[in-house]
Amino acid sequence: MEAAKVKSTAKEFFLLTMGTLLVAVGSYFFKFPNQFSTGGVTGIAVILSALFPSVSSSMFTNVINAVFLLLGFIVLNKGFGARTVYCTILFSGMLGVFEWLFPLSAPLTDEKMLELFFAVLFPALGSAILFNLQGSTGGTDILAMILKKYSSLDIGTALLCVDVIIAAAPLVLIGPESGLYSVLGLLLKSVLVDSVIESLNRRKSFMLVTSCPKEVCQFITGTLHRSATFWEAEGAYSHQEKWVILTALSRPQAVALRRYLMQIDPHAFMLITNSSEIFGKGFLRA
């Protein structure tokens, strides 16, 4: 049991590390050199770096994250997430290492739209992985935790408004081109993060009507190592005795169950639904 817990924790922190790495790569190599301000702390850092060119965006990001992290320790106490602390410190460290190993004075390419794509894609993928594990790279997420504790504000709406202001600010402070790219990047990021989270959590919910309930349930519990609920029913047309089985599976398990059903009960009725919000043991934590 201890070995399984250690393995699960190691897997979780590996995913947190990879998610943070994706956010750091997208921010340092694509967002900062092009002055894309797509919201959050990195967006604020891009604006400040444009106003004070002697200080890099990475440095501004690290300083702002450190301030928010300190506020989190002071204000949130035990409610302050360990995953957020880990990812925030790791994110700052990665930016520092990148700045030391790969100093950039200009964008990697002359294709601004291509760079915007990666400036949005990498952080969106990384953020989706972190959010899925209830972690984040700090910054405005810590501010959201503080606001949630001490106010009745709609936090999601408030943070979205702040991100819109941050993304639109380059229109005035940097230039129209940078501002328009930043607003476009914010729109793409908001859509992409939700899509990736939904894809990561996507499962198949099954509603089966079969004449072989024991065999099907044995396959689900014994081979697929999932659980199921079943109850007796009656066919409306044939009036034959049937059994309805309800279960939720991952995509590979769903394929295996479909194949098995076609072998033992070709006339089984299957209702298969995509779902990204299944709560319970083996799925999302409520």
- Do 147 and 209 share a structural domain? no
The whole-number average pLDDT for the span 217-226 is 88
Of 154, 181, 200, the residue that ends a domain is 200
More confident position, 229 or 133: 229
Q: Within this chain, do residues 254 and 163 fall inside the same structural domain, yes or no?
A: no
Q: How much is the pLDDT for 28?
A: 93
Q: What pLDDT does 73 receive?
A: 76
Rounded Cα distance, 119 and 208, in Å: 44
The answer to whether residue 201 scores a pLDDT higher than 70 is no
Q: Is residue 197 pLDDT above 90, yes or no?
A: no
Q: In terms of domains, do 184 and 262 share one?
A: no
Least-confidence region, from 94-98, 136-140, 172-176, 237-241:
136-140
What pLDDT score was predicted for residue 175?
Answer: 85
pLDDT given for residue 193 in this prediction:
72
Residues 249, 140 within the same domain: no
- Taking alpha carbons only, the member of 193, 199, 248 closest to residue 224 is 248
Of 200, 217, 239, the domain-final residue: 200
Is residue 129 domain-shared with residue 27, that is, in the same domain?
A: yes
What does each C-alpha distance from 238 to 216, 233, 241 come to in angstroms? Answer: 22, 12, 9
Q: Summarize pLDDT for 3-53 with one digit per residue, the tens.
A: 767 777 888 889 899 999 999 999 999 999 998 888 888 888 888 888 888
Residue 286 belongs to a domain: no
Q: Which residues contact 239 (CB under 8 A, 6 or more apart)?
A: none
If asked whether residues 157 and 241 sit together in one domain, one would say no
Is the pLDDT higher at 27 or at 152? Answer: 27
* Lowest mean per-residue pLDDT among 5-19, 159-173, 176-190, 222-236: 159-173
Domain presence at residue 283? no
**Same-domain pairing of 67 and 82:** yes
The answer to the question of residue 222 being in a domain is yes
Domain span including residue 8: 2-200
Residue 18, SS3 per DSSP: helix
pLDDT, one tens digit per residue, over 40-93 is 888 888 888 888 888 888 888 888 888 888 877 777 665 557 788 888 889 989
Q: Note whether 211 and 124 are same-domain residues.
A: no
Q: Could you count the other beta carbons within 10 Å of the beta carbon of residue 124?
A: 25
- The reply to whether 285 falls in a domain is no
Residue 87 inside a domain? The answer is yes
How much of the chain, in percent, has pLDDT values that exceed 90? 12
pLDDT for 118 equals 92
Lookup: tokens for 165: 């202001």
Are 125 and 70 within one domain? yes
Q: What does the pLDDT look like over 88-141, one tens digit per residue?
A: 889 989 999 999 999 888 888 989 899 999 998 898 888 888 877 777 777 777
Do the domain assignments include residue 280? no
Q: What is the pLDDT of residue 152?
A: 67
Average pLDDT score, the chain? 82
pLDDT (mean) for 137-154: 69
CA atoms within 13 A on the CB side of 130: 30
Query: In angstroms, what CA-CA distances link 36 with 27, 118, 178?
Result: 9, 11, 6
Q: Give the pLDDT confidence score for residue 174 in this predicted structure.
A: 86
Are 182 and 216 part of one and the same domain? no
CA dist 64 and 138 (Å) reads 10
Same domain, 159 and 242: no
**What total of structural domains would you count in the chain?**
2
87, 16 Cβ separation under 8 angstroms: yes
More confident: 274 or 231: 231
Do 48 and 186 reside in the same domain of the chain?
yes
For the cut 90, the answer to whether the pLDDT of residue 166 exceeds it is no
Which domain-ending residue is among 138, 166, 200?
200
Report helix, strand or coil for 234. Answer: strand
CATH number at residue 212: 3.30.70.120
